[in-house]
Amino acid sequence: CGITQDLVVPRTLAHRWPLVSEVLFAACELGVFDLLSEAPEPLGSAAVAVRLGTSSHGTQLLLDTCVSLKLLQVETSRGKALYQNTELSSTYLVRASPKYQGNMLLYLARTTYLCWGHLAQAVRDGKNRYQEAFGVPSDELFTAIYRSEGERVQFMRGLQDVWSVSGRAVLQAFDLSPFRLICDVGGCSGALAKECTALYPGCRVTVFDTPDVVRAAKEHFPFLEDDRIRFWEGDFFEDPLPEAELYILARVLHDWSDRRCARLLARIRQACKPGGAVLVIESLLDADGRGPLTTQLYSLNMLVQTEGRERTPAQYLALLGPAGFRDVQYRRTGGLYDAILGRTGLPAGCS
Ligand SMILES: C[S@@+](CC[C@H](N)C(=O)[O-])C[C@H]1O[C@@H](n2cnc3c(N)ncnc32)[C@H](O)[C@@H]1O
């Protein structure tokens, strides 16, 4: 997660990183940053412990460790240590902040980390770890990911966090203003669609996802309601896709094998209007696959949690070309996610 990268952790202390992540997870789960943000003035650790219902010893240790990680700042007044949030935690770790990333952190803590506990075995057999971590088979990937209603909603909440910080960059990487009718395939709660209509006010976006996700989106994310956004349910490997000029695939291809990606892209190419395009939003590996580190970690994450991988620009070109997309271009945003655009060619009669 980008937040852990922002932390000031000397390279020589790399063996402490897993513990650092747990400090971050625990402080979020307990509501430390929310409490300090709501308090009218900085609080001492005893007051924090009382309000959170936590032990005084544990709270003291957690708060001081957060200070060392620059997640909290402390000042001493009349011999008493008083804690408050730093700019970093105020921006990303307070639930009321528009850039809150805590849903994803909780998903990482409760789901992703449990799969990562079996990374060595995933490297041995090349498969995800839902059976060991949660006792569920993963022959149908999203049946394992959505193994309960609670997991589905936490996954959806976690996924939407990043678009409040990275949505604009990926949607601005190419000028999408000519596309009026857009379909966000596997668009989940509609968070990226919301960024899209904010950035390109003339467009309408259809969010296509599975029936259970569409139902959960309408039930749990009503703040996303916008008359330019509509939901459409179905299976993107089987059912007809809504008509559109531009199809967005954000963090979808990285879930799947090359064979499944080829099938999905061919279906999109068939549905796409003349002069249309597909915008793939993913974290791009360097040409040799040896960086950036964040993308390599995401790719290992795909190993333990999906059937897919992160890919290089050439690997995306090798998927998009045979599916019938031309003039494939990619742009790195310098942020967590990048953009690849493939076009269908001009409408008949245009040159
Ligand atoms: C990794 S998530 C990405 C969500 C969203 N695009 C984002 O980047 O935040 C993959 C999405 O694909 C959807 N999905 C998976 N299999 C699907 C299928 N067969 N048909 C339709 N949607 C599917 C999931 O429900 C989920 O919303």
Residue 186, Cα to own-chain centre: how many angstroms? 13
Residue nearest to atom 16 of ligand 1 (CA): 142
- C-alpha of residue 47 to centroid of ligand 1, in Å: 43
81, part of any domain: yes
Which of these three, 110, 132, 156, is where a domain ends? 156
Whether residues 60 and 29 share a domain: the answer is yes
Residue 349, in any domain of the structure: no
Mutate to test the pocket of ligand 1, among 209, 220, 265, 279 (most ligand atoms within 8 A of CB): 209
Query: Would the CB of 167 count as within 6 Å of ligand 1?
Result: no
Residues 168 and 227 in one domain: yes
Report which of 43, 75, 78 is spatially closest to residue 59, judged by C-alpha positions: 43
Q: 223 and 151 in one domain? A: no
Does the pLDDT at position 309 exceed 90?
A: yes
CA 128 – CA 212 distance, rounded (Å)? 23
Q: Are residues 149 and 204 in the same domain?
A: no
Question: What atom of ligand 1 comes closest to residue 160's alpha carbon?
Answer: 9
**In a shared domain, residues 152 and 81:** no
For residue 76, report the phi and psi dihedrals to the nearest 5 degrees: -110, 130
- Mean pLDDT (whole number) for 126-137: 96
Q: How far is the CA of 89 from the centre of ligand 1 (A)?
A: 29
Residues 8 and 121 in one domain: no
**Do 140 and 167 fall into the same domain?**
no
Element (H, E) at 347: none
Residue 69 domain boundaries: 2-92
Q: Mark whether 73 and 135 lie in a shared domain.
A: no
Residue 351 counted as domain residue: no
Poorest-pLDDT segment among 7-16, 285-294, 310-319:
7-16
Q: Is residue 88 part of a domain?
A: yes
Residue 2 makes CB contacts below 8 A (sequence gap 6+) with: 101, 165, 294, 336
Overall domain count for the chain = 3
| Together in a domain, 218 and 321 | yes
Ligand 1 lined by 213 (C-beta under 6 Å): yes
Is 106 a domain residue?
Answer: yes
Radius of gyration from C-alpha coordinates of the chain: 22
State residue 351's pLDDT score.
Answer: 45
Assess whether 77 and 206 both reside in one domain.
no
- Residue 295 domain flag: yes
Atom of ligand 1 minimally distant from the CA of 187: 6
pLDDT score, position 13? 58
> Measuring CA to CA, which residue among 193, 177, 351, 201 is closest to residue 277?
177
Give the bridge partners for 76, in sequence order.
81
Ligand 1 centre to CA of 125 (Å) is 25
**Residue 242 contacts residue 183 (beta carbons within 8 Å):** yes
Q: By three-state DSSP, how is residue 101 classified?
A: coil
* Other Cβ atoms within 10 Å of 165 Cβ, number: 17
Atom of ligand 1 nearest to the CA of 281: 8
Q: Say yes or no: 88 and 109 in one domain.
A: no
Same domain, 166 and 113: no
Residue 333 — very low, low, confident or very high, per pLDDT cuts 50/70/90? Answer: very high
Query: Does a structural domain hold residue 200?
Result: yes
Does residue 347 have a cis peptide bond before it, meaning omega lies within 30 degrees of 0?
no
Domain boundary among 110, 133, 156: 156
The single residue listed with the structure tokens 């039930």 is 219
Q: What is the CATH number of the domain that holds 247?
A: 3.40.50.150
Does the pLDDT of residue 193 top 60, yes or no? yes
Q: Which residue, of 92, 118, 137, is where some domain finishes?
A: 92
Percent of the chain with pLDDT over 90: 90
Mutate to test the pocket of ligand 1, among 252, 263, 283 (most ligand atoms within 8 A of CB): 252
Give the confidence band of 17 by pLDDT, cuts at 50, 70, 90.
Answer: confident
SS3 state at 250: strand
- Residue appearing with tokens 């559109």: 244
Please tell me the distance between residue 261's alpha carbon and the centre of ligand 1 in angstroms. 13
Q: What is the CATH number of the domain that holds 42?
A: 1.10.10.10
Taking the C-alpha atoms of residue 213 and residue 183, their distance in angstroms, rounded to an integer, is 16
**Residue 163 covered by a domain:** yes
As a whole number, mean pLDDT of residues 247-260 equals 98
Helix pair angle (163-172, 149-161), 10° resolution: 60
Given a cut of 80, whether residue 12 has pLDDT beyond it is no
Catalytic amino acids? 254
